[in-house]
Amino acid sequence: MTSVNSIFKKAFGISVAFCFLRSGILSKGKVILWKRVEISEMGSSSGYYGSMAKKRIVIVEDHEEMQILYKAMFRREKGIEIAAQVSDAEDALNVIKESNPDLVIVDITLPGMSGIEFVEQVHESFPGIKFLIVTGHDSDRFYESAKKAGADDLITKGESTELVSAVRRLLGIT
């Protein structure tokens, strides 16, 4: 019988196992931030990315159904992992500080403030992070204000392939 460890050893030349650990639950008990840890024969850990780096995204969406949809869309996308999903701007700021994602997908309509206002407030503090605003409204109506606020793009919710394509383009994944 072949063990997972022996498969990794044969494929990568080292003994590796990946585990996902809950690094904490942030406010309101709704946010779970996952941390990827590499465990080798030496017992060391390499941090968030392990040996095969993926682009990390944070999703800021207040509708649970959309969060489930996003999770399903990105689950099988190579090179992308969801670092966290949150439902409001306050939780998003905490998660961004903690997880240092490559991209943040922000719903235009959030409790407390709009997605555009959120991006305007945080984009200068996180210059290496891309921001994609999604809207169920007419995107042409909000595009200029989103770009002015610091968003890298704004797209209309709808076709999942369009969203995945926009994310891959912003992350530089072909």
| Comparison of pLDDT for 77 and 159, the residue scoring more | 77
Q: How far apart are the first and last CA of the chain?
A: 37
> Which pLDDT score, from 0 to 100, does residue 33 have?
46
Could you tell me the CA-to-CA distances from 1 to 5, 10, 36, 138 in Å, in that order? 12, 14, 27, 57
Which fold does the domain 4-171 belong to in CATH? Rossmann fold (3.40.50)
The average pLDDT across 6-23 equals 37
- What's the pLDDT tens digit per position in 77-124? 999 999 999 999 999 999 999 999 999 999 999 998 999 999 999 999
pTM beyond 0.75, yes or no:
no
Query: And the tokens for 146?
Result: 């989103």
- The confidence band for 174, taking pLDDT boundaries of 50, 70 and 90, is confident
E strand or H helix at 163, and its extent? Answer: helix 160-171
Pairing of strands 31-40, 55-60: unpaired
Residue 172 has pLDDT above 90, yes or no: yes
| Residue matched to tokens 């590796």 | 16
**131 beta partners:** 104
Q: Quick check: helix, strand or coil at residue 148?
A: helix
> Which pLDDT score, from 0 to 100, does residue 42 have?
31
- The confidence band for 139, taking pLDDT boundaries of 50, 70 and 90, is confident
| Comparison of pLDDT for 100 and 40, the residue scoring more | 100
Backbone angles phi, psi at 137, to 5 degrees: -95, -175
